[in-house]
Amino acid sequence: MTHRHKVIFDTDPGVDDAMALCFMTRRPEFDLLGVTTVHGNLDIDTVTRNALWLAERLGLDVPVGKGAATPLVRPAGAGVPHVHGPGGLGDLTPPAQLARAVDPRPAWQVIVDLVRAHPHEVTLIAIGPLTNLALALRHDPAIAGLVAGVSLMGGAFGTHGHGGNVSPVAEANILSDPEAADLVMTAPWKVTVLGLDVTQQVVMDAAYLDRLAERGGPDGAFLRAVSRFYQGFHERSRGLAGIFAHDSLAVIQVLAPHLFTLRHGPVRVVCGGLADGQTIQKPVGMPGPPAPAWEDAPPCAVAVDVDVDGVLALYAETFIA
């Protein structure tokens, strides 16, 4: 009997979000309990509609909770339609009428209820801004001691030369709500951070995506179709003939932690000023005087290296028999 990871999936779909969710739902090792949506790639109504459509498409019988429309203390951002397409899923558009309806509870309540229903068993996989997780902690701080762990895609720590992707130092999910991110990083739960340091090492090139389409059945065809617009953005902005795997790595890390090299130590997030949204880790054993802003925070695990071939093989073999 395979150990199954009970998961709440917090997302702002998003092309790479859709690809991560598709991967997770096709792996028998995961037991998805709920999906929660958050502002980020586009406005909350659009990303929630996308999540409902994805749940319908993938045959998911779980609650979809609509989450925060704005960051904790800042106005809502404009979203990034030039990255993910005008509707957030590349060239694909959900139908006007959806069979699925949103759960009546706000996303933070869905998170709290599911964690309390399955104490010490639930992993939160968060691949958007961290507003919902911060709200869940604010409403019920005790859940920090009741989750199995948190695996999040966000941040940039400068490894392999990977700085920020929306400023020289800030990654998009974190800069979308730095105050929430700092609250989540410093809460007393087990956090693993998959930042640009590893997500920009893993490139799904055009040939790889084409192979998914040719040999991956209906899922493979969907993955190729949803990724085309996103690939165009990567080609225009970086001259990259493919896409970064970003969000899927937060899922893969839970399933196959051996594919990642982790560095431990507390993480803080810069809130305001020139380095707004920067994630900074004080590694365990770092010499020098005490750094008060870090000393009281629990250690996080930050991915600083990744087995690229291992990740790409695991993702592909999930769809290609």
Residues annotated as part of the active site: 246
Angle between helices 248-255 and 15-25 (to 10 degrees): 30
Whether 282 contacts 266, CB under 8 Å: yes
Can you tell me the distance from the alpha carbon of 126 to that of 231, in angstroms, rounded to the nearest whole number? 23
Angle between helices 206-215 and 217-238 (to 10 degrees): 170
Taking CA 267 as the corner, what is the angle to CA 176 and CA 175, rounded to the nearest 5 degrees? 10
Can you tell me the distance from the alpha carbon of 197 to that of 159, in angstroms, rounded to the nearest whole number? 5
Can you tell me the distance from the alpha carbon of 223 to that of 22, in angstroms, rounded to the nearest whole number? 8
At 40, list the tokens.
């980020």
SS3 266: coil
- Per the rule left: phi > 0, alpha: psi between -120 and 50, beta: everything else, 85 is left
Whether 47 contacts 13, CB under 8 Å: yes
Instruction: Kindly state the DSSP code that residue 17 receives in the 8-state scheme.
Output: H
Longest dimension (CA), the chain: 60
Whether 266 contacts 254, CB under 8 Å: no
HSE value, Cβ hemisphere, 13 Å, CA-based, for 250: 33
Can you tell me the distance from the alpha carbon of 163 to that of 59, in angstroms, rounded to the nearest whole number? 38
Burial of 91 (0-12, 13-18, 19+ CB in 10 A): middle
